[in-house]
A and B are shown apart, each in its own frame.
Chain A
Amino acid sequence: MKSKERVLAALRCKKTDRIPWVPFVGCHAGALIVVTAQEYLKSEDLMVKGLQAAIERYHPDGIPVSFDLQIEAEAMGCALVWAEQNPPSVSGHILNQGKTLDQLPPLDLKAGRIPLVMNTNRRLRKANPDLALYGLITGPFTLALHLLGTDIFMKMFDDPDAVKRLMEYCRDCAIAMAEAFIEAGSDVVAVVDPMTSQIGPDQFQEFVTPYVTPVFKAIRQRGALGSFFVCGHAQQNIVAMCECTPDNISIDENIPLDYVRDICVPRKISFGGNMQLTSVLLLGTPEDSQRNALACLEVAGETGFLLAPGCDLPYGVPPANLEAVARLVLDPYEREVLKAKAATKTSTDLLDLSDYGGTSDKIIVDIITLDSEACAPCQYMVEAVRKVTPEFEGIVEWREHKIKYRESLVFMTSLMVRNVPTICIDGQIVFVSRIPARDELIAALQKRINEKLRLKIARRSASVYILGKKGDEGSKKIRAHTMKAIKELGADVEVKEVTDENDIAAYGLSPVMLPAVVVARYQVKSTRIIPESSIIKEWIKGI
C-alpha cells in the first residue's frame, strides 16, 4: 500500500497493511532547517524545505501542509504577535476593536499568508504524489474566538443570535479555506477547533454542530475527507463531534484513546492521536516515544486508526524521538522486539497474579502510574491509597507500577489497564483516571474484603461422589459412612451418587473398580471478572 492510499483507507475505516503514521509537523519543521517559527511560517520556500526535511526524516504516511490556526484571522485583519518557537497568536480581535460583523467581507483567499500556504501545498503535492496531505483550517468556533475574543462566552448568554450569526460567517470562511486546500491538492481537510474544549455538549450542539457539519459536507462533496481535530479537555464533546459527520476524529493526550475508540468505532468514524506531546515527545527519550506509540497502537486496534501526536508538535521536539516512532511504525520487527523485551522481564520478575484469586489473606492494591513523582494526578492517586491503607491494619497492601519501566507496562497490559493512573484491587480495575475520594476508596476495599470472606466460606464447600452400580450394597454402606462422618465433623459437604456407566467412565474408572469414592473440593477463584490466562495458569498449578 502506498502512504496516501493507506491514510485514506484508514480514515474510511478500511483495512490497511499497517497503521498509518501522521506526525503533525508545524513550526517544528523550522527547527529541522534551523530557522525560527516566524521565519518558517512566513516563507513558502522555507516551508517546502522544512516539510521535505520532515518527510525524509520521519517517513510519514501523511503530513499537514501547515499547522497555524492564525492564518484566516490574519487574512481578515487581526493583528498577530510572532514568536520564535511557536506559531503566532492573535493580539487584536477585530470585532472587539470597532468593526461589526456586517462590515467583514467574505474571506479573501488572496489575503495574508493564504496564497503562501496554498502554494506550499501545490509544491508538496507535486513532489510527493503518494503522500497524504492534510490541509488544516481553523475551526469555526476557534475562528469566532479570534474575531471576537473571549467575550463570546458571555455573548452566548447575552446575545446568542449574534454568536450564531458570527458562527455562520466562520462556517463560510471554513468552507472557502477547505475548498482552497482541496484545489491545491490536499487529500484531507482537518477542521481544527481546539477552543470547543471550553464548552459543554449542550453549547456545542447549539453553537458548533450546525456550523461545522456543513463544512464536512462541503469537504466530502469535493472528494476529500474531513477530520475533526480537538485538543484539551474535550472528552465531553466527542459524541457531539461525531454527530458533525467527520470521517475522522483526532484527539490529544487529555482524552483517553480507548474512550474515543469506543465512541468512534460503532459509528464507523476513524480516529487518531494521541501521543503525549510534552511529557514524552518533547521531554522524553526515543524509547519513551516508542513505548508511548506502542501503547497507542495496542489500545487503538488495527483498523480505522492513525497514529499521530495529539496536536501541533512543539518546535523543540528532539527529531530522534520522532525518528524512533517512525521506525516502530514501519518495522514490525522493532515492535516485536520492544514487546518481547518487556514480556521477558515481567514474566520472571514481577507477575504473581495468583494472589489475586482469593487465596491470599491480603488485599493487594496496584496503582498503575506514569510516575507519581512526575505526574500530579498519579501522585494524588498514590497518596489517596497510602493514606487509607493503614486503616486496614495490614490487610491491605499497595504497590505502585510506574509505566516508564517496561515491567510495569506489561503488568498494566496483563491487567488490561488502558489508562493511567488506574487503581486495581486484587487485579480488578476499579478506578480509572480518577482519584477516588477517601470514603469511596474505603468502600471499594471493604467490598473486596467482604467478597474475599464470601469466597473463603464458599471454598469450604465440597462434594463426595460415590460411584457404583444402582442399588449396590457397597455403595449404600459407603453413603451411610459418609453421612456419619459429615455429621460428626459438621462439614458443609454434598454427597452425590453416580450410577450411570458413562458418567462413571468419565471419572476414569472401569466397572471392576467399583464401588469407588471421589472427593472434590471447590474453590471459587474469581467472581464477576474474566481472569487472564496467566492468572488461571497459577490456579491450575495449585491443583
Chain B
Amino acid sequence: MKTPIPVLLLTGYLGAGKTTLLNHLLQLPGIRARKIALIINEFGPLGIDGKLVAPGNYARFELNKGSVFCICIKTDFIRTLETIAREVVPDLVIIEATGVADPCDLSQIIDSPNLRDAFQIGANVCLVDACGFTAVAAFLRTAPRQVMWADGLVINKSDLVPSSDLDSLGRILQELNPVAPRTVVSHGRIPEEFLDGLTHQVRLAPVPETPLEGLVSVSLQTDGVVNEADFLAAIASLNGSLLRLKGTVCFKNRTRFVEVIHGRVSEKDPPAGLPKTAFTAIGWQIDKAALHSTFHSCFQYDTRP
C-alpha cells in the first residue's frame, strides 16, 4: 500500500495573515524541494486569496464555491482531494482553510473512507492574530475551536502589539490548548524548524460544543451617566479578567470613546451621533453576570447636566 500523502492544514480567522504565512511557507527550502498541491478554501473575497499567493511550482485548487453551506464545502473538498490523489500525487498537500471552517469537520473529511488511505494530516497549524484574536474569539465560535484542534500555534502580527499583550494572549492560548507548541512571529515568518517539530495529535479528549466557557462578552447601555472613578476602579479590579472593552461612555462632565486592551486604557472623542453610553466588554474566566454587574455598578441614574 502507498504511503499516505501528508496534509498540512492551516487554519485561522480571516485576516490573521494566513495568505502571508502561506507565501512564506512556499519559499522555505524544505517546502520548495517538494511537490506541493495547494488548496485554498476561503470564505469571503473570492479568489483574492488565491491571487495573493505567489506563483510557483505547485498545483493550486480553489475551493470557495458555495461556501455558505458546510455541505458544499464538504463535497467540493472530497472531490478536490480525490483529484489531487489521482492526478497530482504530490509530496505534500497544504490546505488553507477558511476562517469559519470547523477543524473537526476538516479532520473528518480527511478521515473519510475514500480519502483516509490516500491522505493523512501531518500537522494542523493555527494562525492567531495577536491584535484581534481576543475580540473575535468571543463572537466567532470557530476561532477558539481552531486553536483547540491545532498541533502548532503561530502568533502572528506580534510587531503590532506590546509584549504584555502577547503574554496575556499566551496565557489564554495555553488554557485553550496546553499541548500545542507556540511560536511568536510577524509577517507570517515562521521558522522551518517549528513546522518540522510538529506532530499531529489525534484528539482523544472531546472538544466541547460551546468551547469557551471562560470567554464571555457583555454589552451594557444606559441613558444615565457613568461614575468615572468607579469605572476606572472597575477596570483595575478586573485586572487580567478583562481582555477588551470598547464603546462610548458618558461620564458626568464629558463623553469619551473608551478602549481597553489587556488592561491598557485609551480614550478619544466619541463618534458623532452616539451620545449614549454603550460599550461591550470581553472577559476571560469570569462569570458573565459578575462582569456585567462590575460595570453596571458604575452607572448612575441621575440626569446629566
Contact = CB atoms under 8 A, between A and B. Distances in A.
Interface of A: 69-70, 81, 83, 85-93, 96, 142, 145-146, 149-150, 153-154, 156-158, 160-161, 194-195, 197-200, 202-203, 206, 231-233, 235-236, 252, 254, 277-279, 282-283, 310-312, 314-316, 371, 373-377, 379-380, 383-384, 387, 434-438
A424 to B, nearest CB: 17
B139 A81 contact: no
Interface residues on B, range: 35 or more
A235 B209 CA distance: 8
Contact of A150 (B44, B46, B138, B217): B44
B182 to A, nearest CB: 22
Contacts of B111: 374-376, 379
B86 interface: no
A126 B216 CA distance: 51
A266 B285 CA distance: 33
A150 B43 contact: yes
B68 A195 contact: yes
Interface of B: 13-15, 43-47, 64-72, 74-76, 78, 99-100, 102, 104, 107-108, 111-114, 116, 132, 135-136, 138-143, 202-206, 209-210, 216-217, 219, 244, 246, 274, 278, 280, 282, 288
A231 B72 CA distance: 12
Given A236-B210, A376-B107, A157 B46 contact: no
A371 B113 CA distance: 10
Given A157-B135, A161-B274, A206 B219 contact: yes
Contacts, number: 173
Given A89-B64, A93-B44, A198-B140, A435 B206 contact: yes
A236 B209 contact: yes
Contacts of A206: 219
A375 B78 CA distance: 14
5 contacts: A87-B69, A150-B99, A154-B132, A197-B141, A203-B217
A83 B76 CA distance: 10
Nearest to B46: A91
Contacts of A311: 69-71
Contact of B204 (A90, A195, A279, A438): A438
Nearest to B107: A376
Contacts of B102: 232-233
Given A92-B45, A158-B246, A312-B71, A434 B206 contact: yes
Contacts of A89: 46, 64-68
B139 A437 contact: no
A437 B99 CA distance: 28
A197 B74 CA distance: 16
Given A87-B72, A153-B136, A203-B217, A161 B205 contact: no
B175 to A, nearest CB: 16
A436 B206 contact: yes
A202 B132 CA distance: 20
B76, B99, B141, B282 pick with most chain A CB within 10 angstroms: B141
Of A89, A157, A195, A438, most buried by chain B (CB within 10 Å of CB) is A157
B141 A198 contact: yes
A154 B66 CA distance: 23
Chain B CB count within 10 A is highest, among A153, A206, A252, for: A153
Nearest to A317: B75
A86 B71 CA distance: 10
B71 A277 contact: yes
Given A91-B45, A93-B45, A437-B206, A157 B138 contact: yes
A310 B100 CA distance: 19
Given A96-B45, A278-B75, A437 B205 contact: yes
A374 to B, nearest CB: 4
Q: Give the most central of A200, A252, A434: most B CB within 10 Å.
A: A200
Nearest to A138: B68
Contacts of A195: 68, 100
B112 to A, nearest CB: 6
B204 A384 contact: yes
A69 B113 CA distance: 30
Contacts of B99: 150
Contact of A231 (B64, B69, B104, B274): B69
B204 A150 contact: no
